[in-house]
A and B are shown apart, each in its own frame.
Chain A
Amino acid sequence: MRELLNGRIEPGKGPVFWIVGALLVIGMLFLPGLVGRYTLLNFNSFLLMVFLATGLALLWGFCGVLSLGQSAFFGIGGYAYGIVAINLADSPWASLAGVAGGIVAAVVFAALLGWLTFYGHLRGVYVSIVTLVVTLVIESFLNQTAGPQWKIGTAHLGGNNGLGRFSGAAENIPSLTIPTGGGNSLVISGSSPTFYYVLIGLIVFTYLLLRALVNSRFGVALAAVREDPDRAETLGYDIRLLQSMTFCIGAALAAMSGLLYVAWGNFITPSVFGVTANVLPVIWVAVAGRKSLAAAILGAVVLQWGAQQLAISGGEWALIVQGALLVLVVLLLPEGLLSLRQQYSRMRDVRSSSLKSQSRQG
């Protein structure tokens, strides 16, 4: 276990890394006492996107598949959560059933889509375009479901206005609710410290789990697929199965974000399937460094915060600054901010590698 956590594929190891990480997490536990309700609510909305980002980092950074359709799973997770929870609104288990429903729906859909792409021998940018097309299909379908006939059980899809928002008596999508026995239940609203602690717990758990995964033999196989799919296949790896499985894990993580987003704000519209929504996680991961789960987590939170601050204070220049920053990062830091670290270690290794190449030439 220790080897899995401290393995060689995910960057960051040694006592310093773990101590700093642990201190960071412990420090974050004090946040709810320090900030107001709004700040916590807002911060929660950034944190809940972390799963989407780590799923994409796993898929793109570790398996070499750039999906432009992660928000399809985000949206499916969110809609499925809402639909299940609205239908079971009277049960204390409504929201937990919604969580299960959201993840299962996304994984099933990902398996289908994985069959469509990976088993169709699609690679590279073709996978990106196929996944993007799929989300566009879902978006255009959902946009026109405002009519009263579009409902699943008691949940009206509501078209462009959003799930449950267009049905006469508005159906409220339940918040995260945990039955505590005896007919009581704990409602965890998006602005509550409990929601924050649940997120922190889930993020730490997910990070450690994914870390162990990418450091395991599975992770080594993924790296082989990423570096050279043909060679990996020749070596006996079932690359389509590996890609599909990773795709499903990424989908489950995206769905996690999606359902938490709905539980957080009790609101979801088809715009979560749009092109912008699909490109955003790619930007977080690319800017932070796609080959590190930790970087993806930090990237998702920091970049969302930055974009929001720009929108608040930058006015009409916000999107221009955001766009220019993206271009600069891609040009100056080829592997995202992570390349700063790599540049440092490259400098350190420069002597040994030059020695090696000399000896090879000789």
Chain B
Amino acid sequence: MGDIISFAYQYADSFALLALSSIGLVIIFGMMGVINMAHGEFMMIGAFGASFGFQWGLPLSLAIVTGVFAATAIGLLLERLVIRKLYGRLLYSLVATWGISLVLSQGALVLIGPSVPSLPNPFGTVSVGGMNFSVYRLFLVALAIALIVTLWALMRFTNFGLHARATMTEPDMAEALGVRTTRIYMVTFGLGAALAGFAGAIFGLSAQIQPTFGAAYTPIAFIVVVVAGSRNIIAGLLASALVLALVKTSFTVGFNILTGYVAMLVTALIIIRLSPTGILDLIGKLKALASQHRSSTAGTSAEETKNA
């Protein structure tokens, strides 16, 4: 029993980390197609902002809001100055955002210094079945789910969501119908930066906050987002993080951390290979296959009865 609880905890933990570290990117890359290599740096800005807010004497929650504001502001600024000019040439956004990531992380080092104090972690420990678990990590799980649900609602039920989806699928048509697509792009990019900054600030409760703090998250976030696919990015993100975290946790528990990491990457490769449009289509294909199989077995059994 203890083992099962422990596994469930690790699985949820791993899911939350994957989902939170990629949720900003799923907006920027998944919706807009911008290859944002500076994703991790937006997370870093969120963490730095939160650390500063806290040092200024703000309560922790407001400090985190400070971090989100910082990331959003820099995100919006970059969208206006740089990203906006790249919407027609998305592969080049890789080079430009790589440049931005160098400027941001090294700029933080020069202007602020090699590190800033971490944030205090107000959460305690909870004991289940004789094992101690971190409430902070459970909070991350709840947060990841809450954010995914909120995003889904935003896309599904609001005007912004409608316009955003229209802009991403048929920009010219949307424009013709009166959607101000440039504004939609800007808000979307800002939202992505805000979410990245939020994740960074939250991770800053339990990490050393340094200029290179975010760099490690960028490739992993890309993998989660590519596996999530382009059909329905929010549901895709949920499925992608759930599946990758399951593989990672299973192999980590069964073998070791390295095997877990490599198994996750290999799974991502397999999923992309089987279904370039993402995990949802793979699930769809598998379902179709299963029902085909079911109907064909049903068919043979019917024939058998007939023959009998």
Contact = CB atoms under 8 A, between A and B. Distances in A.
Interface string B82-108: 100110011110111011111101110
Contact of B109 (A283, A316, A327): A316
A330 B109 contact: no
Contacts of B273: 116-117, 120, 122, 130
A136 B92 contact: no
A325 interface: yes
B94 A137 contact: no
Given A125-B35, A125-B91, A126-B226, A320 B269 contact: no
A140 B95 contact: no
B169 to A, nearest CB: 16
B37 A279 contact: yes
B261 A66 contact: no
A323 B100 contact: yes
Given A287-B95, A327-B100, A316 B265 contact: no
Interface majority SS on A: helix, strand, loop or mixed? helix
Nearest to B29: A125
Contact of A330 (B92, B102, B103, B106): B92
Contacts of B100: 323, 327
Contacts of B110: 316-317, 320
A217 B95 CA distance: 31
B253 interface: no
A346 interface: no
Contacts, number: 116
B258 interface: yes
A66 B85 CA distance: 20
A286 interface: yes
Given A126-B272, A136-B265, A326-B96, A320 B102 contact: yes
Given A275-B219, A323-B101, A323-B103, A331 B265 contact: no
A323 B262 contact: no
Interface string B236-271: 000000000000000000000010011001101100
A327 B261 contact: no
A256 to B, nearest CB: 24
A315 B304 CA distance: 81
Nearest to A60: B91
B106 A319 contact: yes
A327 B199 CA distance: 26
Interface in A277-316: 279, 282-283, 286-287, 316
Given A330-B86, A330-B96, A137 B265 contact: yes
A51 B228 CA distance: 35
Interface-central residue, A132, A137, A283, by most chain B CB under 10 Å: A137
Interface string A54-88: 00000010000010100000000000000000000
28 contacts: A120-B274, A122-B276, A123-B276, A125-B33, A125-B90, A125-B91, A128-B91, A128-B94, A129-B222, A130-B273, A133-B219, A133-B223, A133-B265, A133-B268, A134-B269, A140-B261, A141-B258, A275-B215, A275-B219, A286-B95, A287-B95, A318-B106, A320-B102, A320-B110, A323-B98, A323-B103, A326-B96, A331-B85
